[in-house]
Amino acid sequence: MLVLRESAIFAPPLRVGIAGLTHTHVHGLLGRAQHGDLVLVGIAEPNRALAERYARQYGFPMALVYASLAEVLAKAKPEAVTAFGSISAHLAVVQACAPKGIHVMVEKPLAVNLDHARQMAALVRQHHIHLLTNYETTW
């Protein structure tokens, strides 16, 4: 477990999982070690070479890397998941996380089409989670 700590003034650090490492905005999350507001508990990335490269760059252990999001959810128990993979995978991330009450942040754009966006909105309402699009959080 990689603990990212700044202070305990507000709340315990949020347990965060990452779904995919292929979108380069993941560097913003991986580079937050000094802030203290997050604990990186698992990374779903089937490309082992990519995960190993980032592990060397950011100093996280490869024990955090799983082959699938299902494994991260089952074994690491994140409170929130950030999706830094393909936009076409956003719906699947929300489908996997929402029923478990896990909040999700996806990269922009939110969805590949209106149907996917509507399905995500329905899951958010049904399971009372937050779904964010990473724009304001980065820029």
DSSP letter for each residue of 34-56: TT-SEEEEEEE-S-HHHHHHHHH
Three-state secondary structure call for residue 80: strand
Q: What domains, with CATH codes, occur in the chain?
A: 2-134 (3.40.50.720)
Cα–Cα separations (whole angstroms), residue 18 to 44, 85, 91, 122 = 6, 9, 15, 22
For the chain, 139 residues long, give each residue's pLDDT as a single digit of tens: 555 545 445 678 899 999 999 998 898 889 886 788 889 999 999 999 999 999 999 999 999 999 999 999 999 999 999 999 999 999 999 999 999 999 999 999 999 999 999 999 999 999 999 999 986 655 5
Give residue 17's identity as a one-letter amino acid code. Answer: G
